[in-house]
Chain A
Amino acid sequence: MATSWRFTLILCMLLMACGGLSLASEEAEPRNSQTDTGTGSNSNATEEGGQGAVPITTLPIVTWKWHHVTTQYLVALWILVAWLCKLIIESNHHVTNVIPESVLLICFGFVLGGMIWGADKMQTFRLTPTVFFYFLLPQVILDAGYHMPNKLFFTNLGAILVYAVIGTCWNAASLGLSLWGCHMGGFMGDLDISLLQYLLFGSLMAAVDPVAVIAVFEQVHVNDVLFIIVFGESLLNDGVTVVLFNVFDAFVSLGGSQIDAAEIAKGIVSFFVVAFGGSLVGIAFGLLISLLTRCTKNVKIIEPGFIFVMGYLSYLTAEMLSLSAILSTTFCGVLCQKYVRANMHEHSVQTVKYAMKVFANGSETIIFVFLGISAIDKVIWVWNTGFILLTVFFVFVYRFIGVFFLTWILNRYRLVPLEFIDQVIMSYGGLRGAVAYGLAVMLDENKIKEKNLMVCTTLIVVYFTVIWQGMTMKPLVTWLKVKRAEVKELTLLEKMTNKMFNHTLVAIEDISGQIGHNCQRSKWKYFEEKWMSRILMKPSARKKQDQVFDVFHQLNLKDAMEYVTEGERRGSLEFIRKESVAIDFRKKFESEHSEDMPGMRADMSNGHCAKPTTRDPIPSVSVEMHEHAMKAKNEAEAVNAHNLLDQHLYKSRKQHRHRFSRSKFIINKDEKEVQEIFKRTMKNRMESFQPAKTGVSPKTVIKHTKKEHQQKMPKGKSISQTKLCYSGDEDFGFSEGDSASGYDLPYPSFPMRDSKPGGGIENSAFVSDLYPTESLQIPPWLAEGELDSSMVAPSLRAQASPPTSPMEMRHLGLLRVSTRSTDTKQMNNDQLPLPPTHPPPPPPSSHM
């Protein structure tokens, strides 16, 4: 273990060659252990030349060409190492519950750095500004922008801007001036730092770091408002930081004497230019992305790529124009998210979402690991107790003062004032991170004599804030009883009422004659719907953007998923395809309803789940079984099914095998291939249940009519009437919320299995069902559903085409994941979905 680690590490050590800086070529073999300080390319060239010059005497079968791949190999290896660190950390949940991941990553960085130091006697890998600002930071920012909760963000934009602009300026100025004051007071001994340099240092220390903040706050789950303020501040203050840094950098170069009012005025102007210019670039790119995704219909595979490329371009463009790149990318993401999601194909949206998370999370990991590694370097450690401790102290204290003062002002205008506890957390969440470090490393050593001290101090502040404050954040949040984010369950009524509230507030603002933000929002919304959507969104996507409807749709999907899962658990959903079963998904109004199911009504009124007759006009779904479906134990039918099955098991195997296409997901499209896999799995399963084969009955998930009840009662194990009645919900189940509860009841599966011999074979029906055999007709209701699908209400539509193929099931699965969580659990498109989720049926132990 240790040796393999060491080997990896030694190979890894050349990563930063991609930054073109220092490169040490130390290989496993000691003969190459010279370290050269030249640039990577140079050393590569010489080495290659040397090797090439050796005359070959015989044809080499295998040659060792390390230098061909040095850089790339090291980059890849470092990524791997960093991610492995994360893997190790995340597999210890009890540790991450106490210590945030970012802290652990930095500690891993220390260890790795130590190893490199031990091997190399110098630090060959550091986080260089180039790598950080151009390759690691953009995706983190793009992800933050793209997944920004827009409404929350814009509602709190005022507060965020105040903290980001004024707060950051305050931090910079106060820190710089206080340090200078202390310097003058003689607390730091002999240091060659001028006032301007102190201010420069203050400005690079001022900004709260987005990466660190996201990493810590994501694990703490504080309430939304608090989170968005800290998070938004950390993103938006970049504009300020960049400007302050550039201005003071320029001032330092100019020297104190040449700074006059004009220069200062220029500095202030440049702030607005940089901040607003950056945002504008971002908005322009956001619009471009939106427009672009309108017409990527034919290149679905690379569709997601556009988002990343354009996002990166927005970063680079802003950087090129010396505007704020972070602001640019943030706004690009914020602006395009809505349209991108509406325009692109659903799969692409999922891809973007997960790929974004992969990139962001991955580079965040690398950033933290390298922050740790960078510390293990003798060169930068210049100790000056006064300077370092005072900086840490001032950073901490001024953050508190700034936040409390600004909140005090803001609270006079805020609808819901920020509470004291929130302010404490906000202050405490002022984490500094890699941005500060990156800026510090960028300082010019010729102009600033004490650069190393500054870098070192920056690192210490970063460690102090990230490690100490990060670690104590969670206990503090618990201790102060900060309002946490609530896990909300999606409900329609809530969404509806929410929407109504919005309208109400607008109306009240109208009536009471004031233009509040509700009014503005409604005007913006109107404008947005009228113009922006029209231009940026596909016409087809524009139609379905209502939120209430969205929620409704998602809830239905969820139910459908539960329905499928439950159906599978119980064996098969095959009954919905049986022509003998007529499921009438159309609405049943009172007359029909009572006609069709007199028995059911009687049953239901017995139990306490009885529904009053007022329910009748419900557009409910009744699933009705015809007489002969009741005789489901028809053995001949079952045997038929098996014959069918066996035939097909061996037939299609050769036809659909390896197919590859770069432009299409064949597996997705080609149902047959999916089914092929199915057949194979099912064949195995069949074989294992051979003995039970004879007693097969096609399993039917039966909507009880009275008859069905009667059938069940004697066979099943004493199910009480009331219980059955609970399952009476099934009758409404398909379209409605309680369908889940109808199925979730644990009992139905047992009586079913017990009552029917050879329960295991239930699954066979499931398989035979999946064959698109000619003999299987599309049930009339399905055809109907397809015909007037535009007419049918969506819930009904969902019912009308229950997932009939694994592909669709997976489809639903994907959707469900998307509506639920933003975690990085990725449902792999290429995976074949079913076998794992399908619990092997229990052996038919209880033969009757």
Chain B
Amino acid sequence: MGSSSSSRNKIPNAQELMHQTGFSSAHLLRLHDRFESLDRDNRGYLSPDDFEALGGLAMNPIGGRIIEAFFSSGQDTVDFSSFVRILAHFRPTDRNRNKEGTQQELPSSRTRKLKFAFQLYDLDRDGKISREELLQVLRAMLGLQVTEEQLQSIAERAIQEADLDKDDAISFDEFKKSLEKMDIDTKMSVSFLK
């Protein structure tokens, strides 16, 4: 116990992070270890290159986007607390906590998860998924299996499904509505090791 509390001291404002993200201190410690192993030069922050060095991510068709999600604020570095905050989106939704802590929404809530997913589509951050943006994701994921024209029809149709106000783009509300029935809890959650 003593060792864990001492290493917890290494983590800047651990208490606040735990409160904001809902991670336990064991989680934080683990993630901190991971953070340090990603941060090969011990700079205290990560740059996109650090992520790209991960083999699995390079193979991932939307790996680039996910890396971008970590650098959303326009900076090209990410420190530990933002790193954890991003990862916190993928915690399983905490049912009990949500009930008591309504004043503060955890990142793992359904809406926040959806928002994260939405932002993965929405490259230019205008709050709308345009056809072009959808097409890019499709292209990345379906790749060579489908011809470009087919991709276009798919994107077109996907937009039409969700597009309620007929502005030819999907806003977040529309996005949320069209995924209403989806079990986001399960599908956007990773079981973090302790």
Interface residues of A (CB under 8 A from B): 413-416, 486, 488-489, 491-494, 496-514, 516, 518-519, 543-546, 548-549, 552, 555, 609, 611-612, 614-615, 618-619, 735-738, 791-796
Contact = CB atoms under 8 A, between A and B. Distances in A.
B114 to A, nearest CB: 9
Contact of B179 (A497, A549, A615, A792): A497
Interface in B14-56: 31, 34, 37-38, 51, 54, 56
A555 B57 contact: no
B162 interface: yes
A327 B157 CA distance: 42
Contacts of A493: 158, 161-162, 170, 175, 178-179
A507 B56 contact: yes
B145 A549 contact: yes
B61 interface: yes
A509 B156 contact: no
A508 B87 contact: yes
A500 B191 contact: no
Interface residues of B, number: 56
Given A548-B138, A552-B154, 7 more contacts: A492-B158, A507-B66, A511-B54, A549-B142, A549-B145, A614-B168, A619-B152
B135 to A, nearest CB: 11
Interface of B: 31, 34, 37-38, 51, 54, 56-57, 60-63, 66, 87, 90, 92, 117, 120-121, 134, 137-138, 141-142, 145-147, 149-150, 152-154, 156-158, 160-162, 166-168, 170, 175, 178-179, 181-182, 185-193
Contacts of B138: 496, 548
Contact of B54 (A415, A489, A510, A514): A510
Contacts of A506: 56, 60
B92 A416 contact: yes
A413 B63 CA distance: 27
Contact of A548 (B142, B147, B149): B142
B157 A794 contact: no
B167 A511 contact: no
Question: 7 tightest A-B contacts by CB?
Answer: A510-B56, A793-B149, A492-B158, A513-B34, A793-B153, A507-B66, A795-B153
Chain A CB count within 10 A is highest, among B154, B161, B162, for B154
A518 B187 contact: no
Given A507-B60, A516-B191, A792 B186 contact: no
A381 to B, nearest CB: 49
Given A491-B161, A507-B57, A737-B160, A415 B191 contact: yes
Contacts of B31: 512
Contacts of B193: 514
24 contacts: A415-B186, A415-B190, A488-B181, A492-B154, A492-B158, A496-B134, A496-B137, A497-B182, A498-B182, A498-B187, A500-B141, A507-B63, A508-B66, A508-B90, A511-B34, A513-B37, A516-B190, A546-B146, A552-B154, A612-B166, A619-B152, A619-B156, A793-B147, A794-B150
A519 B56 contact: yes
A414 B186 CA distance: 10
Nearest to A794: B150
B62 A503 contact: yes
A506 B191 CA distance: 12
A796 B149 contact: yes
B143 to A, nearest CB: 9
Contacts of A513: 34, 37-38
B51 A736 contact: no
A492 B157 contact: yes
A294 to B, nearest CB: 20
Nearest to A513: B34
B92 A792 contact: no
A736 B160 contact: yes
A491 B187 CA distance: 16
A510 B57 contact: yes
A619 B153 contact: yes
Main secondary structure of the interface of B (DSSP, over half): helix
Given A491-B161, A512-B34, A500 B120 contact: yes
Contact of A514 (B51, B158, B186, B192): B192
A494 to B, nearest CB: 6
B66 A504 contact: yes
B190 A518 contact: yes
A126 B179 CA distance: 52
A341 B20 CA distance: 48
Contacts of A618: 156, 168
A505 B149 contact: no
B120 A505 contact: no
Contacts of B181: 486, 488-489, 494
Contacts of A491: 158, 161-162, 178
A160 B149 CA distance: 43
Nearest to B132: A617
B66 to A, nearest CB: 4
A737 to B, nearest CB: 5
Given A496-B137, A737-B157, A512 B162 contact: no
B148 to A, nearest CB: 9
Contacts of A508: 66, 87, 90, 190
B152 A793 contact: yes
Count chain B CB atoms within 10 A of each CB in A505, A511, A738 and give the residue with the most.
A511
A792 B60 contact: no
Nearest to A610: B166
Contacts of A552: 150, 153-154, 157
B168 A615 contact: yes
B190 A737 contact: no
B149 A503 contact: no
Contacts of B185: 416
A506 B141 CA distance: 13
Contacts of B54: 510-511
Given A504-B120, A546-B145, A737 B167 contact: no
A546 B38 CA distance: 34
Contacts of A512: 31, 34, 87, 190, 192
A510 B60 contact: yes
Contacts of A612: 166-168
Contacts of A505: 90, 187-190
Nearest to A499: B141
Nearest to A543: B145
A116 B31 CA distance: 71
Nearest to B129: A493
Contacts of B157: 492, 552, 555, 735-737, 795
Given A493-B162, A493-B178, A512-B31, A614 B56 contact: no
A496 B152 contact: no
Contacts of B145: 543-546, 549
Nearest to A507: B66
Contacts of B120: 500, 504
A519 B134 CA distance: 25
B176 to A, nearest CB: 11
Scoring A486, A510, A514, A549 by chain B CB atoms within 10 A of each residue's CB, the highest score goes to A510
Nearest to B46: A511
A497 B117 contact: yes
A795 B167 CA distance: 22
A540 to B, nearest CB: 13
A615 B72 CA distance: 30
A413 B191 contact: yes
A509 B190 contact: yes
Contact of A494 (B56, B152, B182): B182
Contact of B62 (A498, A500, A548, A793): A500
A730 to B, nearest CB: 14
Contacts of A489: 181
Nearest to A555: B157
B22 to A, nearest CB: 15
Contacts of B175: 493
A792 B167 CA distance: 26
A511 B51 contact: yes
A793 B141 contact: no
Contacts of B158: 491-493, 496
